[in-house]
């Protein structure tokens, strides 16, 4: 066991078959399809399951409930610069448009 503030020589690689620091590993994610298939169109059941997950502390469930109740938080996007342009729009006749369209179509 390496001591706190230890040196690299105290560190050794884990041997095959040796239990690690997290023997159980990461818990499996909840399969959403199998969870929803239990409720088969029962919206109240889905909401009840979501509330139950939120009460257990599931952040995603809490976020989903708040988003549905109060709406998503708007994301502000700042724009700056000159929006005026000096370029005139191009007006094409139908024939010119067809010719340009045919020029870019894949063969």
The predicted pLDDT at position 73 comes to: 84
With contact defined as beta carbons under 8 Å apart, do 14 and 23 qualify?
no
User: For position 57, what pLDDT does the model report?
Assistant: 92
Question: Could you tell me if residue 78 is inside a domain?
Answer: no
Residue 47 lies in a domain: yes
- List the pLDDT tens digit at each of the 107 positions of the chain: 555 666 666 677 777 877 766 767 777 777 767 777 777 777 788 888 889 999 999 999 999 899 888 888 888 888 777 766 666 767 778 888 888 888 877 76
Question: What pLDDT score does 56 carry?
Answer: 93
Let me know if residue 63 belongs to a domain. Answer: yes
> Is 61 within a domain?
yes
What's residue 6's pLDDT?
63
H helices of 1-107, where? 32-37, 43-55, 59-70, 94-104
The DSSP code for 16 is T
37 part of a folded domain: no
Distance CA 83, CA 1 (A): 64
Tell me, yes or no, whether 104 lies in a domain.
no
Q: Would you say residue 79 lies in a domain?
A: no
Is the residue at 106 inside a domain? no
Task: Give how many domains the chain has, as a whole number.
Answer: 1
Return the H-helix or E-strand segment holding 21: none
What residues make up the domain containing 52?
43-72
What residues contact residue 11 under an 8 Å CB cut-off, 6+ apart? 2
């Amino acid at each position: 066991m390496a001591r706190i503030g230890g040196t690299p020589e105290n560190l050794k690689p884990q041997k095959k078959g040796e239990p690690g620091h997290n023997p159980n590993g990461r818990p499996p994610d909840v399969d959403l399809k199998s969870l929803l298939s239990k409720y088969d169109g029962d919206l109240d059941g889905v909401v009840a399951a979501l509330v139950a997950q939120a009460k257990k502390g599931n952040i995603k469930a809490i976020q989903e409930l708040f988003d549905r109740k109060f709406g998503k938080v708007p994301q502000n996007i700042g724009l700056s610069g000159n929006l005026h342009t000096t370029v005139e729009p191009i007006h094409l006749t139908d024939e010119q448009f067809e010719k340009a369209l045919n020029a870019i179509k894949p063969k």
